[in-house]
Structure 1
Amino acid sequence: MAGNFIQPGDTMTFVAPYAVASGAGFMVGAMFAVALNAAAIGASVEGKINGVWTLPKATGEAWVAFTTKLYWDNTNKRLTSTASGNSYVGIAVQNQASGDTTGRARLNGVPA
């Protein structure tokens, strides 16, 4: 293996921008991740930047699997299909009804 390889990069260490629970989504700069451990604001938190996750969802929106682009609403700490003012983080992988409060998303692992 090349001597300059550091790590695969799908899990990164971040400084928690606010208190996060294990399994919660969070944004640091342009990067979205899901916390693998709980962390207080300013503490180190391991975050997974890709994969399929069940996360909080904006109600009033129906999602279509593999069609609906998803964005992180950092104010309300949930996924939404509304692009305006939010950061693109992935795509729905399961149909979700408008009344659902959580949804399954495949994170793209790319900075917003």
Structure 2
Amino acid sequence: MARNYVQPGETLTLVAPRTLASGDGFAVGGIVAVALAAAAAYAPVEARRVGVFDMAKAAGAAWTQGQKLYWDNTAFNVTATAGSNALIGVAAQAQASADTVGRVLLTGQIPA
């Protein structure tokens, strides 16, 4: 192992950009993650940036399994609409348009 290796990077300690509940999605710069515990705004929080999570979903559009998904940092939810939203992963399962929670595979990429 290289002497300068620090950690795998799947879980990071980040600064909460707003008050978060455990399981909330959030973005810090180019990092999109899920809070592993509740945190006050600007407090440190352990966050997971890869894995499968049930996350807040934008209602009004159905998802197909494997469809690319994006983080809407204004509405604080996952959407299938690219636009100015950051690519975060894919739908782990299909979701109906009326669903407000969707199963998401966070792939850990850093959005452009």
User: How do 1:75-94 and structure 2 match up within 5 A?
Assistant: 75-94=74-93
Deviation digits for residues 9-62 of structure 1, max 9, x if unmatched?
100011111111111000000110000111111100111000000001111111
- State the Cα RMSD in Å: 0.8
User: How do 1:61-76 and structure 2 match up within 5 A?
Assistant: 61-66=61-66, 68-76=67-75
CA drift at 1:2: 2.4
1:27 aligns with: 27
Q: For 1:79 and 1:61, how far apart are their aligned partners in 2?
A: 11
Q: For 2:74 and 2:2, how far apart are their aligned partners in 1?
A: 41
User: Is 1:57–2:63 an aligned residue pair?
Assistant: no
Equivalent residue letter for 1:91: V
Equivalent residue letter for 1:52: V
Structure 1: any 5+ residue segments left out of the alignment?
Answer: none
Structure 2: any 5+ residue segments left out of the alignment?
Answer: none
Q: For 1:17 and 1:98, how far apart are their aligned partners in 2?
A: 28
Aligned residues: 111
SS of residue matched to 2:83 = coil
Q: For 2:71 and 2:94, how far apart are their aligned partners in 1?
A: 18
